[in-house]
Structure 1
Amino acid sequence: MISKELKVRLDTFVDAILAIIITIMALELPAASWANHGNILTFLLAVAVYAVSFCFVANIWYQQATLFSTVNVIPRRVVLLEFLLTFLLSLVPPLTRLMSGDVENLSVMLYGALYLLITLVFRYIAETVVHQQTDDKDRMHEIYTSIYGQHNLENSILLAGLIGLAFFWPWVAYILYLIIPIRSFLTIDDDQRELTAITDMEPSGQKSYLDMTHTQQTQFRHLIGRYVRDTRRAKDQTSREAAWRTFSDTAQKQFDISASQLAQWFRATSQEAMRPEGNQADNGRRTRTRPASKS
């Protein structure tokens, strides 16, 4: 394990590299005169590729920032993987320029291969860090696999398939590469929100969740995700209570989980939802002042 101070410096280093990468991609957009209408199309294509690469890099940054905010120390092998990840990300600008300058099979295939490799490296980093957060490694592995496993497999197969597609129809693969990162960017919080909710459950709830079928697990996580979104949007205690009741009633109908059992699984969450407004405010003040008392 590395120290907390070294982890902070690693976070700063990665943030700086990603900021530079995005800046370089923006500076490399073509700036030819639009008097020639052909330059307009070239510019728009370059902007489209830049938008994709921006979403891709920003997505990696956000997921990493969210992931690393949950731990104070990380294994040394993660540091080495972070260096590998930043090296691969530093190749995004030249390959972005190559693909935007000439949409042909080799340039699109190289971009796709880099995309796939970065995704695989980051997923390994994420799995390593997530598993570190609990003493029950086997259970955490099952939870992580249930949430990310199918998605990661499908995404990897899709990216590998697009590399093959680019050999025959580079323009088709090019267009799909415009869609996939943007879609991931727009749904950036979903998997992480569901993972956090499941890992915060009581052990009995986690066991029951893992005993569900894959389809039931997916439906249950989506239900949790909707509840978390509703509570974040809630502006008062009445809205929070309504969100919990909706969540509880739906879970009982879909999965035959009683309200009391659900409250047991999500003990802290259910107590927060039903806590009087004044007590919540007091608790918020205590939570905010706690770090100062430690220092």
Structure 2
Amino acid sequence: MGKTRLEAFSDGVIAIIITIMVLELKVPHGSELADLQPLVPVFLSYVLSFIYIGIYWNNHHHLLHTIDHVSGGLLWANLYLLFWLSMIPFATGWMGENHFSSVPLALYGSVLLMCAFAWLLLQRSMVKAHGQKSTVAVAVGRDLKGKISPVLYLVGIVSAFLNEYVSEAVYVLVALMWLVPDRRFERASHASQVR
């Protein structure tokens, strides 16, 4: 099976996830600037989650350019990633509404952790379907950021119960680490086209 249907479906789900998140931003019932104050945590959690969704969408796009066909296992791995990405709006809303308190903050980190595991599973499924010498295998390589991220999410989850600011900083740090698109996929795709 070709990859275009998988890419189109994934893009649609990610667009819906972003739409759900933005619908959680409620308009204040006043016309003064001070009426926006209670919405600051909700808005900040939305911004962070929007960045995370954008990172996954961007890297998913680049990752799919390293393959030429899709297997059944790869379809399920992709659905598993989309499932965890679809949990981000709930975790985002709960965290923002409760002003980054411990349990919602830990749940947010847990969802991010599961997204990271799902991403690694998707990469492994692609390598398995295309072989160890394939473009995707070369692109994934050692994937240092992909291995560091789950560890940092665990630190963020534990920190949520010790110091919420540390937990928040860890989640922002991981997002910043991934903010620049992962060029490994572009380089591998370009190298395979040159050959």
Provide TM-score, normalisation by structure 1: 0.58
Which of 34, 44, 57 is residue 48 of structure 1 equivalent to?
Answer: 44
Q: Give 2:171's aligned amino acid.
A: Y
SS in 1 for 2:160: helix
* Structure 1 match to 2:161: 167
Q: Give 1:113's aligned amino acid.
A: S
Cα distance in structure 1, aligned partners of 2:177 and 2:156: 16
Cα distance in structure 1, aligned partners of 2:62 and 2:177: 19
Does 1:188 pair with 2:184?
no
Structure showing the higher helix proportion among its residues:
1
Alpha-carbon shift at residue 69 of structure 1 (Å): 2.7
Alpha-carbon shift at residue 152 of structure 1 (Å): 2.2
Q: Give 1:107's aligned amino acid.
A: P
Contact residue 49 and residue 92 of structure 2 kept, 8 A: yes
Alpha-carbon shift at residue 47 of structure 1 (Å): 1.9
Taking structure 1 as reference, are residues 73 and 174 closer, same or farther at Cα in structure 2, changes over 3 Å only?
same
Which fold has the larger relative contact order, with Cα–Cα distance below 8 Å and residues 6 or more apart in sequence? 2
Structure 2, unmatched stretches of 5+, are: none
Cα distance in structure 1, aligned partners of 2:148 and 2:41: 28
Structure 1, unmatched stretches of 5+, are: 202-267, 270-295
Q: How many aligned residue pairs are there?
A: 193
Alpha-carbon shift at residue 194 of structure 1 (Å): 4.7
Alpha-carbon shift at residue 133 of structure 1 (Å): 4.0
Does 1:67 pair with 2:71?
no
Alpha-carbon shift at residue 151 of structure 1 (Å): 2.4
Does 1:108 pair with 2:105?
yes
Alpha-carbon shift at residue 115 of structure 1 (Å): 0.2
Cα distance in structure 1, aligned partners of 2:137 and 2:68: 20
| Cα deviation 1:144-191 (Å, max 9, x = unaligned) | 443x1x322222211111111111112331243234324412x11333
Give runs of aligned pairs for residues 255-294 of structure 1, distance below 5 A: none
Taking structure 1 as reference, are residues 34 and 116 closer, same or farther at Cα in structure 2, changes over 3 Å only?
farther
RMSD: 2.8
Alpha-carbon shift at residue 106 of structure 1 (Å): 0.5
Cα distance in structure 1, aligned partners of 2:50 and 2:136: 32
Taking structure 1 as reference, are residues 71 and 154 closer, same or farther at Cα in structure 2, changes over 3 Å only?
closer
Cα distance in structure 2, aligned partners of 1:18 and 1:172: 28
Give runs of aligned pairs for residues 175-254 of structure 1, distance below 5 A: 175-185=169-179, 187-196=180-189, 200=192
* Structure 1 match to 2:21: 25
Alpha-carbon shift at residue 40 of structure 1 (Å): 2.6
